[in-house]
Amino acid sequence: MPHHVKSKALSHLRICDFTGQLAGAGATKFMAAFGAEVIRIEDPSNHGRWDILRGMPPYVDDRRGPELGGPFNNHNVGKLGISLNIKTEKGRELFERLVAISDCVTENFSSGVMRSWGYDYDALKQIREDIIYVSNCGFGHSGPYEKFKTWGPIVQATSGLTMSSAIPDQPPAGWGYSYMDHTGAYFMAMAIMLAIHHRNRTGEGQYVDVAATEAALTLNGPVLLDYTVNGRPLRRDGYPDANHSQFPAMAPHNIYAAKPVPGSFDEAWIAIACRNDEDWHKMRDVLAADGCDWASNDAYGQLSGRLAAQDELDSQIAEWCLRRDPFQSAEILREAGVPANAVQTPEQRIDQDVNSSEARLWPTIRQAEMGRLRVDGIPAHFTKTDWSMTRGAATLGEDNDYVYGELLGLSQDEIAGLHEEGVI
């Protein structure tokens, strides 16, 4: 399907959207790519700066300003943008008219912000009986930490994901970015769509409480059951050991230094995993053919022997990995049937990996002030209602005429008047 055709998957849905940053904005970005009409509301009195990403780097050129930030654009592709000061009487009236014609209201403010404006679920339900209200905040809307504040790294820290990302005898490495802002947004998108399906079946709207920390907690995996069933905590000597594989046990399984790639950085790394003895035997043959006599050590023939001598095995493999750049070694291993890849730099994975172009992963959009640039696409394709991305993040109030004029029926004069008064 050509990418400029707008998806009809969700084109029957309208979302009245207060989300921002990435933890919220990512959810409605996904739905907008599939055709949902997402109307993003921003406060004109501070130029939408509640969203701290507005105007933040990186930038496409030397210009700076709230409409020129790369991250904000990336996370708000395909949404409509209106300005609305909800602290004014007329602003509240307009908001309520919007709610009345929307399927969902979405936000990721700190707990209690919507309530302080007088718009909790019960108030929204008064406006539209079957409204779906999805609120996403770090610790959710009840419990001892309800008032605590988070962003991605805090969510990751408190849920276990930071601690489990480490190698032995080192402090936590954590995640080098807000994994849980992305993934919190994924769970928010799931929650929105689950509630819509429920409404489709029953006619009922509802309130949904999404806590990114809880989504994160569920992502720890079997290590949690190792504790609840076997009483074995991850906080113990020699662990976490994230580059080795305990569940399932594999060896070798690590990230090794490699010869730098010409023209790239002065460090390079390769990830290698032998899933079973068969993989190891294939790798052993590659190594033996390359003069590594140690690889034929009988003790390495079975997993138990490789696990027992894991550190020595790692140092021997590390020596071999330094002979070539990681792309060369990975290709040799994969040809032999052994899982291996370079630790790719952003340039390598985005612009040099054939899979990026096959997947049409980085669509070029146009944003009113930044012009044409690439953004994160969607890593899936549909045969009938595929996604599209063509328009970048809306500038402040870019869609006021459409939303206030066409959807709410205001005249041009009325819209101009509201603008004059600072309502929009």
Partner 1 sequence: MTTSSNPLAMMALDDLRVLEIGDERGAWCGKLLADMGADVIKIEPPEGDPSRQYEPFADDEPHHERSLFFWYYNTSKRSIVMDFDDRSNADAFLKLAGSADIIFDTNTYDPVGRLGVDYHQIMSDNPGLIWCTITNFGFGSVRDDEPQTDLTLAANGGFAWMNGYDDHSLPPVRGGGQQAYHTGSNYAFMSILTALLHRDATGVGQHINVNINASVNVTTEAGSYSWLVSHSTVQRQTGRHAGVAPSMPSQIKCADGRYVNTGIPPRRPAEFGLCYQWLEDEGLLDQLPEAALLLVGAELESFSLADVFRGDNEELLAIFGAGREAFDLLASKLTAYEFFTKAQNFGFQVGVIHSPEEALEDPHFVDRGMQVRVEHPELDREVIYPGAPYQLTKGSWAITRRPPLLGEHTDEVLDKL
Q: Which is nearer to partner 1, 212 or 424 (CB)?
A: 212
Between residues 74 and 83, which has the closer beta carbon with respect to partner 1?
A: 74
- For residues 128 and 205, is the Cβ–Cβ distance under 8 A? yes
Residue 415 beta carbon to partner 1: minimum distance, rounded to whole angstroms: 32
For residues 211 and 336, give the distance between their C-alpha atoms in angstroms, rounded to a whole number. Answer: 45
Residues 84 and 41 sit within 8 Å (Cβ to Cβ): yes
Bridge partners, 271 (sequence order): 255, 341
Strand arrangement, sheet containing 268-273: 253-258, 268-273, 340-342
Q: Which is nearer to partner 1, 86 or 173 (CB)?
A: 173
C-beta of 91 vs 252, nearer to partner 1: 252
Nearest to 24 by CA among 120, 170, 134: 134
Measured from the CB atom, is 13 or 38 closer to partner 1? 13
Distance CA 320, CA 317 (A): 5
Please, what is the minimum distance in Å from the beta carbon of residue 404 to partner 1?
27
Rounded Cα distance, 121 and 316, in Å: 61
Nearest approach in angstroms of CB 327 to partner 1 is 11
Maximal C-alpha separation, the chain: 85
Closest CA to 99 of 61, 135, 125: 125
Tell me how far apart the alpha carbons of residues 201 and 357 are, in angstroms, rounded to a whole number.
Answer: 39
Nearer to partner 1, 176 or 291 (CB): 176
Q: How far is the CB of 81 from partner 1 (least distance, A)?
A: 19
The interaxial angle of helices 326-336 and 310-321, nearest 10 deg, is: 120
- In whole angstroms, the minimum distance from the beta carbon of 411 to partner 1 comes to 33
Rg (CA), the chain: 26
Q: How far is the CB of 259 from partner 1 (least distance, A)?
A: 15
CB of 396 to partner 1, least distance (A): 20
- Report the amino acid identity of residue 63: R
Cβ nearer to partner 1, comparing 177 with 290: 177
